[in-house]
Amino acid sequence: MRRWIPIAVLIAGCAPLEVFDDPNKQPPVVPSDRDTDAAGVDTAPEPVIPEDTAPEIGDSDGDGILDPDDNCVDVRNPGQQDFDGDGEGDLCDDDIDGDFIPNERDLFPNDNTLPGVASQDHVYAHGPSDLWRFDVPRRALQAVGSFRFDQRSGSITDIAIDQYGVLYAVSFSDVFVCNPDTAQCWWIGGLGGSYNGLTFVPDDAGIEDVLVGISTNGTWTAYTGVPNSVTPSSWGGYGSGRSSSGDAFHIRGTGTFAAVNTAGVSGIDIIEVGTHGAFVRTLTNLNYSGVFGIAGAANVIFAFTSAGAIEEIDMVTGEHHVVATGTSWWGAGVKTIVLP
For the stretch 97-123, pLDDT in tens is 999 999 999 999 999 999 999 999 999
Burial class of 285 by CB neighbour count within 10 A (0 to 12, 13 to 18, 19+): middle
Evaluate whether 121 touches 327 at the Cβ level (below 8 Å): no
Which sign, positive or negative, has the C-alpha torsion 131, 200, 288, 263?
Answer: positive
Average pLDDT over residues 158-182: 98
Each residue's pLDDT tens digit, 35-45 = 555 666 666 66
Instruction: Place 13 in a pLDDT band, splitting at 50, 70 and 90.
Output: very low
Give 14's pLDDT tier (boundaries 50, 70, 90): very low
Average confidence (pLDDT) over 7-27: 48
Euclidean distance between CA atoms 135 and 122, whole angstroms: 5
pLDDT of amino acid 99: 94
- How does pLDDT run across 176-215, given as a tens digit for each residue? 999 999 999 999 999 989 999 999 999 999 999 999 999 9
Distance CA 258, CA 201 (A): 12
- Phi–psi pair at 39, nearest 5 degrees: -90, 0
Mean pLDDT of 247-266: 97
Domain boundaries, the chain: 118-333
**pLDDT of 34 above 60:** no
- Asked whether the whole model's pTM tops 0.85, one would answer no
Q: Is the pLDDT of residue 237 over 60?
A: yes
Considering the chain, what is the average pLDDT of its residues? 88
Hey, what CATH topology would domain 118-333 get?
Answer: Neuraminidase (2.120.10)
Question: Would you state the pLDDT for residue 22?
Answer: 54
pLDDT score for 12: 45
Q: What is the pLDDT of residue 15?
A: 47
Whether residue 337 has pLDDT greater than 90 = yes
Q: What is the pLDDT of residue 62?
A: 85
What pLDDT sits at residue 36? 56
The answer to whether the beta carbons of residues 270 and 287 sit under 8 Å apart is no
Residue 7: C-alpha distances to residues 2, 11, 13, 17, 198 (Å):
15, 6, 10, 16, 124
